[in-house]
Structure 1
């Protein structure tokens, strides 16, 4: 498991029914969903598996749901196949996925992660009145071009996600983001697409949510993770609980530096990125960031079996 990082997806990877096969196949995976149900005080699993797409898309549901599926993967890997997160070099997660990474590395309990993510989703939703914020993906843009688009927007418009070469997401006030998207089209950027999101994540308009998370995190127990966690805010590994707490607060308004995180992990010798949870959004993005990185997405029992078998043969 040397040279391996476990990575955890963020919002946008969700789909109704995710994780159901894992829960049916493995008691260890089922136990994670039961833990999340108990923490949230509701039959949350049924919303994930049988609910409506609209309900799952509500950010206060999406965030704990994706974490639950990711942790079902890592717990089943360990319990059924003896593959341990602690044997990896790093863990990292995209936005809310950072909470999944911390829970997988033992820095936070699954129940606390579920409660924090539910609260994080609610706080982000409340931070900006509906319809006042927006996000846009700039395809084919460099960071410098994205920064120029923000500067030309005439309002609050910031880089929210640096996902991969040629994939940068802007966030901010609706009029400013729309102006930046228009500027992009006129200044040689291949495509600017407004995203169907419920709030402008990872920009300074989220400050009320960051303040709320600071209070919630202050009373949550955080331990040192068993492997270093690559933080979104710094694109650097962190193990100190006090620093992790501060970075999680900062993360609400700060840029998700995913491209840099992947580049730096690769520079430090990571060759295998193993995506745990719903879909394979990160695996597809990472291929564009560092050529030659091995990407594996684990979301079903057969994925886990194949991965464990490959580990045993290695």
Structure 2
């Protein structure tokens, strides 16, 4: 069974849209996105453009959908789609729950709300080597000493000991020191300028929920795995709610990965541009084939996936 994984903000790199496969469906998708948004989307991946949350989130959505369509043109269609944070929008398009144009507009709205709420001074930090419970305890101790906007929150549970924290820059910098002193193997800031997946985005979430009520959603044609619960969602409204609210709540990515394994996914492909999700699979699910599209030529990726899926000769 094939599953597609779509990375979230932080996976971007300069020129990532220009490095997408030279494939007819990719060119068509870039043109479609440009028409929907009224901009040339290939201007969104420069170093200057990527300072904008709006540019990054739109770019990642375009890259994910373009890659999905290129795979489909090669008869590689996923039974399961899952995306981390904004990656969930490409996953929802992949499984047929929302049209690409509507997803793009909703992503733009989401990113604008996030950027307006926190134009600077906030972000994320990844901590490896401590559990969610240990980090929650440290965060509570941190809040007892430093109140107000110096509080930090658990944003993503990517693996049992790979957690992303959200908050203000100074709070995160101090918290990194606490985490390392408490035994964390690694603690670093991420290339994200907003405090994703925590209560700091409650008001922005309320606005996006209201916006999303006017966006047409459909029952998925294949399996969609949600962010908040890490479980499969089968109804249009459930997927709408998951997308509209995921910036406020902790992303349960490891739960999503676990349920994909339980449902039979044994080949997982990560859409461009990153390979963080691939590394998580390889570290935690050694019996599963994990392939990062960014690490292969497109032809080699297709051939490898087909072989691992037992499609040779079809």
State TM-score, norm by structure 1. Answer: 0.89
Residue among 6, 9, 12 paired with 1:8: 6
Give the gaps of 5 or more residues in structure 1: none
Quick check: 2:82–2:224 contact (8 Å CA) kept in 1? yes
- Show the 5 A alignment for 1:135-214: 135-154=124-143, 155=147, 156-214=151-209
SS at match of 2:8: coil
Residue by residue over 1:94-122, the C-alpha shift from the partner in whole angstroms, topping out at 9 and shown as x without a partner, is 11110000011111111111111122111
Alignment-derived partner of residue 312 in structure 2: 313
Residue among 65, 71, 84 paired with 2:65: 71
RMSD of Structure 2 on Structure 1 (CA): 2.0
Alignment-derived partner of residue 267 in structure 1: 262
Residue by residue over 1:234-277, the C-alpha shift from the partner in whole angstroms, topping out at 9 and shown as x without a partner, is 01000211111122222111111111211222133222111122
Aligned length: 303
SS at match of 1:53: coil
Residue among 34, 41, 45 paired with 1:44: 41
SS at match of 1:263: helix
Give the gaps of 5 or more residues in structure 2: none
Residue by residue over 1:133-178, the C-alpha shift from the partner in whole angstroms, topping out at 9 and shown as x without a partner, is 3422212111111111111121432100111232111112445434
SS at match of 1:273: strand
How many angstroms does 1:129 deviate by? 4.8
Alignment-derived partner of residue 106 in structure 1: 96
Quick check: 1:152–1:180 contact (8 Å CA) kept in 2? no
C-alpha separation between the residues in 1 aligned to 2:124 and 2:18?
Answer: 31
Indicate the larger mover: 263-272 or 235-244: 263-272
Quick check: 1:77–1:304 contact (8 Å CA) kept in 2? no
C-alpha separation between the residues in 2 aligned to 1:148 and 1:258?
Answer: 21
SS at match of 1:199: coil
